[in-house]
Structure 1
Amino acid sequence: MAALALALRTVLVLLLVWQSAIWLFQPPRYILPSPLDVALAFQRQPGFLFGHSLTTIAEMALGFVLGSAFGALTGLAIVALPRLGRLLWPILLVLQSFPVFVIAPLLVVWFGFGMGSKVIMATIIIFFPVASAFTDGLRRTDPELIDATALTTATHWQTLRYVRLPLAMPSLLTGLRVAAPLAPLGAVIGEWVGASAGLGFVMVQANARMQTDTVFAAMTVLAVLSLVLRHLVDALGPRLIPWASEP
């Protein structure tokens, strides 16, 4: 409840600052709409925004699940198979340096204007923070614990399963927390490049018509989606990984 109250106060302060800037500078509505203009945009077209929001929600949800799964499996493979890790890790670092705005048009060309290219874009954005955090967690296992298991009959795979993997789960949860707000971004970037539905499509079309209030309305929905997904990770993560309950 305290976190919710703090969030509401923060939103209220931002709205007051926003409205004060409108009163002070009086910019044209097509440059900076007021909070009331944005609220009216929701009122004028609730079904339109809701329908496109569902498309973006589906893309970001699939991208988050796939990106998290592939990221976790990649991190596990890098540590479990050291030779593969030495080959794979530099490749991942190079791929991570590519700007997403360069990759997005290629995905549209390869996979079309449908949902597939947007899901893949979201998957790529989610993949890297999850893979990096989980790999780092697996590699940072206390060396004394590794040495202790070496004195037993535990195999490499048993040590990985019963020692390194449980201890690295908090790092995986950290990666998921970092990645959660990025899922809507991945979906929207794909929609900006080429789409026929979704909040990114709405923003591109509204911006071309100088309907800035609709652009801000879509941005507001995206912000809410990011917060909701992050909240879900924060709420479900400690339940699944009780020893990683620290925020």
Structure 2
Amino acid sequence: MSTTDDLLTPAGRQEGPVRVALPRTWWQRHGSTTTVWSLRLALLVLLLGFWQLAADRWIDITFISKPSDIAERLGEWAADGTLWLHTWITVQEIVYGFALGAVTGALAGFVLASLSLVYRVLDPFVMALYSIPKVALAPLFIVWFGIEMHMKVLLAAATVFFLVFLNTAAGVRDVDRGLVDAVRLMGGNRWHIARKVVLPASMTGVLTGLKVAIPYALIGAVIGELVASNRGLGYLINDAAAQFDTAGVFATLVVLSVIAAVLNVVVGLLGKRVNRWKPIDE
């Protein structure tokens, strides 16, 4: 945006749009966000209160546990180090798998979707691979890569890859052809079109793929731990279920939910940064 000095003509007359900051109270600036978060907190407290009340009164506690027992189990695991050990292992698998799948998916989607003929040839094969349940891949990945951490990382990456690839490819193929033609008329080559038009316009698809892929990164890592592992949150779920420890199972699910929420926040911040070029909605 131009500064005030740039908008002044030699005669001192101001031209172009001028933004005037209107004084607003704290509530006018943050009231909507505060209301939303207050309602979210109230809903969470209401649900937890009802759960605590219903447990062992109307529903057998063996099946649903109760919030106080889940909090107690989390406290026990945090005190003896069990929570931190297994959470750190799963977080590494999720982050590495998510990063690997996201980077390769975005690059493949951008390159292949830019090559129309190649994309049309490979599209049915990609969809066939995408349609394979990732749970069915776990035994095969164990045979190929063993039961160490890299097996869970690759399984999570394979799950994330297709979601990011398909959304990125859709974003590239939906680029306004008028913008592409305009750059060509101004003498731009394929590199200019890719960097100045296709890449920025496809970021919406990339970010959508990243947001959708977050829970699937967790699923891929936890499935690998459930199938073959003696460490990680998936192992904790297996161990707690084998002992009919419902509170332990729910406690692990709470930790996984927190990890997913943190990843969502990170992707949201990334989205705000890469979308700064877009015009502000009035």
Q: CA RMSD in A?
A: 1.9
| 1:203 pairs with 2:237 | yes
Match of 1:10 among 33, 37, 43: 43
- Asked if the contact 2:211/2:267 (under 8 Å) is kept, the reply is yes
Per-residue Cα deviation, 1:42-70 (whole angstroms, up to 9, x for no partner): 12221112210000000000011111101
Q: Please give the alpha-carbon distance, in whole angstroms, between the structure 1 residues aligned to 2:94 and 2:38.
A: 27
Query: By how many angstroms is 1:26 displaced?
Result: 4.0
Structure 2 residue aligned with 1:25, among 49, 58, 69? 58
| Rounded Cα–Cα distance in structure 1 between residues aligned with 2:242 and 2:114 | 50
The answer to whether the 8 A contact 1:183-1:226 is kept is: no
Q: 2:142, 2:176 → 1: CA distance?
A: 44
Q: Distance in 2 between matches of 1:40 and 1:110?
A: 40
Residues 1:87 and 2:87 are matched in the alignment: no
1:193–1:177 distance in 2 versus 1, CA, 3 Å: same
Q: After the TM superposition, which residues 27-176 of structure 1 pair with which residues of structure 2 at under 5 Å, given as runs?
A: 27=60, 29-46=61-78, 47-176=81-210
Bigger mean CA offset, 17-26 vs 209-218: 17-26
Matches within 5 A, 1:167-186: 167-186=201-220
Listed one character per residue, the Cα deviations across residues 85-126 of structure 1 (whole Å, up to 9, x for unaligned) are 123222111111111110112112211111011101111121
Q: TM-score, normalised by structure 1?
A: 0.92
For residue 245 of structure 1, report the CA deviation from its aligned partner.
9.3
Q: Residues 113 and 194 of structure 1 are in contact (CA less than 8 Å); yes or no, is this contact kept in structure 2? A: yes
The TM-score with structure 2 as length reference comes to 0.81
Deviates more, 1:17-26 or 1:189-198: 17-26
Q: CA 1:204/1:234 → structure 2, altered by over 3 Å: closer, same or farther?
A: same
Is 1:191 aligned to residue 225 of structure 2?
yes
Q: Per-residue displacement from partner, 1:136-171 (whole Å, max 9, x unpaired)?
A: 111111121222233232222321221111111122
**What is the rounded CA distance, in whole Å, between the counterparts of 1:6 and 1:237 in structure 2?**
25
The CA distance in 1 between the partners of 2:49 and 2:240, in whole Å, is: 25
Report 1 or 2 for greater relative contact order, CA contacts < 8 Å, sequence distance ≥ 6.
Answer: 1
Change (3 A) 1:201 1:171: same
For 2:111 and 2:69, locate their aligned partners in 1 and report how far apart those are by CA, in whole Å: 51
Deviations 1:197-219 (A, max 9, x none): 10001101111111111111101
- Give the gaps of 5 or more residues in structure 1: none
Identity of matched residues, %: 37
Take 1:73 and 1:26, find their aligned partners in 2: how far apart are those partners?
50
Three-state SS of the structure 2 residue aligned to 1:30 is: helix
Q: Deviations over 1:8-35 (max 9, x none)?
A: 33322321232233154140x3322111
Q: Distance in 1 between matches of 2:112 and 2:37?
A: 39
Mark the CA change 1:31 to 1:184 in structure 2 (over 3 Å): closer, same or farther.
same
What is the aligned partner in structure 2 of residue 237 from structure 1? 271
Matched, 1:221 2:255: yes
Unaligned 5+ runs, structure 2: 1-32
More helix by share: 1
- The question of whether the paired residues in 2 share the 8 Å contact of 1:113 and 1:196 is answered with no
Change (3 A) 1:119 1:6: farther
SS class of match (1:141): coil
